[in-house]
Chain A
């Protein structure tokens, strides 16, 4: 456990009557990128706060980089982009990045951090003149200015549009190269799938799954195949390989399948007349339902 980036063991945390974390356990290896996936209120932000030493758990052990969370933060070995973290008024981007570089003891140069976060052109802007995506990149710049061994990103793209989200992740990937462990909280299954080596799924404070993204997606009820058919016949559709559920609205067909490849193959071969075919992953909603029901839990269900 000493050589893992994070060791999170049987941690419980209550806020009054609300159980934010319920004996949650997971481990983050060095150099690993792990997603904490779950709804709002699933316990993601609480877990991140605990790993940063912002709160203390009611029960359980947390080790970060071989020491306590507070010590790891004080030593400048951890960088964090908090969901509830903000930027100060009356300062320019360069002022803020210079401050961060100074606080972390000059591990990176100011211009280097500005370039990494894609902020070189914006260095003289004030924080009040930034778009949501730009402000998020400034927070990210603060988080990486100490060349951290471990980087926390709590819901980093939650307020961003698709374009800003893609840019943000491109920046993260460039900056996190070279052995940095990354833990990010998200409620987008797609984001976890695209950027994580491993996904820890939280539901109502408990870890309900901990596996590779593709495994999570498969176990989460597979994929959805949508298409338009001239005269859809529910019985024939349900008989297709892999299909577990069929929904029909007029000629609009929606199939849930555990084996999208074979379903689509047979759909074309044996039914035909298929138009506007789309294959998508299952939503987080369905994923959580199916994952939660697989795991025995001591909680009220």
Chain B
């Protein structure tokens, strides 16, 4: 599986769209709006912005790395070619998910460096590490969701679908934009994985563990997206 992982990591890092939207954009957002002084509930505002932009980079990175090229690979017959090499289906599947989680790191690292240098965020190393660990684990449902979209939609529709889902979750989850949503949307917000991840991140940098509700939402999305991917994969590989 390692040669496959290496191949896909290099391919993702050569992808301009990935580099711009999932590393340059969150870093730029942070530099533009995140460098505020002051505190909110005893936590630096600059640190809260770090969480928001790191979630942006992580969820987008996972969605795109796990699912982005899959629709094209399928359409062009590359997946078929891989099927006649010793790379098994299970390994391909595991490789894509690990890739989705790993490709969270460059964007999160970029935002973290911006927060350290330009944002003057003071955070104990342990809390910073806990935040990154949470982002890695919490990006799993996003990777699965991206993989599901890549296996389900065709060609350019898949790319578009991933971008639409990404921005919907970003806005709904309160990753970008401030203030509560109107009416019932505020209730829906609490059910999105992006909201769960932002709130969990905020808790971690304040020195608390994420609440059961936040972890529960993320776990439920992981199970749902995982089941959707498995069903899809079974059908497409058709015994």
Chain B interface size band reads 20 to 34
- Complex contact B7–A87 (CB within 8 A): no
Please, could you name 5 A-B residue pairs with CB atoms under 8 Å apart, sorted by A?
Answer: A86-B77, A86-B81, A88-B69, A91-B10, A139-B81
A205 contact set on B, CB distance < 8 A? none
B4 at the A interface (CB under 8 A): yes
- Complex contact A84–B80 (CB within 8 A): yes
The docked-state distance in angstroms from the alpha carbon of A88 to that of B85 is 15
Q: Specify which of A56, A89, A98 is in contact with B7 (CB 8 Å cutoff).
A: A98
Residues of B near any A CB (own CB < 8 A): 2-4, 6-7, 10-11, 14-15, 69, 72-73, 76-78, 80-81, 83-88, 239
Shortest A2–chain B CB gap in Å is 22
The docked-state distance in angstroms from the alpha carbon of A56 to that of B239 is 8
Shortest A39–chain B CB gap in Å is 22
- Complex contact B76–A88 (CB within 8 A): yes
* Chain B interface mostly: helix
- Complex contact B4–A99 (CB within 8 A): yes
* Chain A interface mostly: loop
Shortest B10–chain A CB gap in Å is 6
B4 contact set on A, CB distance < 8 A? 99, 102-103
Knowing A95-B10, A102-B3 are in contact, say whether A85-B78 is a contact too (CB < 8 A). yes
The docked-state distance in angstroms from the alpha carbon of A78 to that of B72 is 26
B88 contact set on A, CB distance < 8 A? 74
Shortest B185–chain A CB gap in Å is 37
Q: Specify which of B10, B80, B86 is in contact with A82 (CB 8 Å cutoff).
A: B80
- Complex contact B11–A95 (CB within 8 A): yes
- Complex contact B86–A85 (CB within 8 A): no
The docked-state distance in angstroms from the alpha carbon of A82 to that of B14 is 27
Knowing A74-B86, A90-B11 are in contact, say whether A85-B3 is a contact too (CB < 8 A). no
The docked-state distance in angstroms from the alpha carbon of A91 to that of B7 is 8
A271 at the B interface (CB under 8 A): no
Knowing A85-B77, A88-B73 are in contact, say whether A103-B85 is a contact too (CB < 8 A). yes
A76 at the B interface (CB under 8 A): yes
- Extra A-B contacts (11), CB below 8 Å, given A88-B69, A91-B11, A139-B81: A54-B84, A73-B84, A73-B85, A82-B77, A86-B78, A87-B81, A89-B76, A99-B4, A101-B3, A102-B2, A146-B86
For B10, give the chain A residue with the smallest CB separation.
Answer: A95
A105 at the B interface (CB under 8 A): yes
A80 at the B interface (CB under 8 A): yes
The docked-state distance in angstroms from the alpha carbon of A85 to that of B84 is 10
- Complex contact A104–B86 (CB within 8 A): yes
A101 contact set on B, CB distance < 8 A? 3
The docked-state distance in angstroms from the alpha carbon of A76 to that of B81 is 13
B84 contact set on A, CB distance < 8 A? 52, 54, 73, 78, 80, 82, 85
- Complex contact B76–A87 (CB within 8 A): yes
A100 at the B interface (CB under 8 A): yes
- Complex contact A102–B6 (CB within 8 A): yes
B6 contact set on A, CB distance < 8 A? 98-99, 102
The docked-state distance in angstroms from the alpha carbon of A54 to that of B76 is 17
A52 contact set on B, CB distance < 8 A? 84
A82 contact set on B, CB distance < 8 A? 77, 80-81, 84
B239 contact set on A, CB distance < 8 A? 56
A75 at the B interface (CB under 8 A): yes
For B76, give the chain A residue with the smallest CB separation.
Answer: A86
A142 at the B interface (CB under 8 A): yes
B10 contact set on A, CB distance < 8 A? 91, 95
For A55, give the chain B residue with the smallest CB separation.
Answer: B238
Shortest B47–chain A CB gap in Å is 36
A90, A104, A105, A146: which has the most chain B beta carbons within 10 Å? A90
- Complex contact B69–A89 (CB within 8 A): yes
Shortest A301–chain B CB gap in Å is 33
The docked-state distance in angstroms from the alpha carbon of A221 to that of B78 is 41
The docked-state distance in angstroms from the alpha carbon of A95 to that of B69 is 16
Knowing A86-B80, A90-B69 are in contact, say whether A100-B11 is a contact too (CB < 8 A). no
B15 contact set on A, CB distance < 8 A? 90
B3 contact set on A, CB distance < 8 A? 98-99, 101-103
The docked-state distance in angstroms from the alpha carbon of A255 to that of B83 is 49
For B82, give the chain A residue with the smallest CB separation.
Answer: A103
- Complex contact A99–B7 (CB within 8 A): yes
For A70, give the chain B residue with the smallest CB separation.
Answer: B88
Shortest A89–chain B CB gap in Å is 6
Shortest B98–chain A CB gap in Å is 16
For A102, give the chain B residue with the smallest CB separation.
Answer: B3
- Complex contact B77–A84 (CB within 8 A): yes
- Complex contact A76–B85 (CB within 8 A): yes
B76 contact set on A, CB distance < 8 A? 86-89
Interface bits A83-122 vs B (CB < 8 Å: 1, else 0): 0111111110001101111111100000000000000000
- Complex contact A103–B87 (CB within 8 A): yes
Shortest A103–chain B CB gap in Å is 5
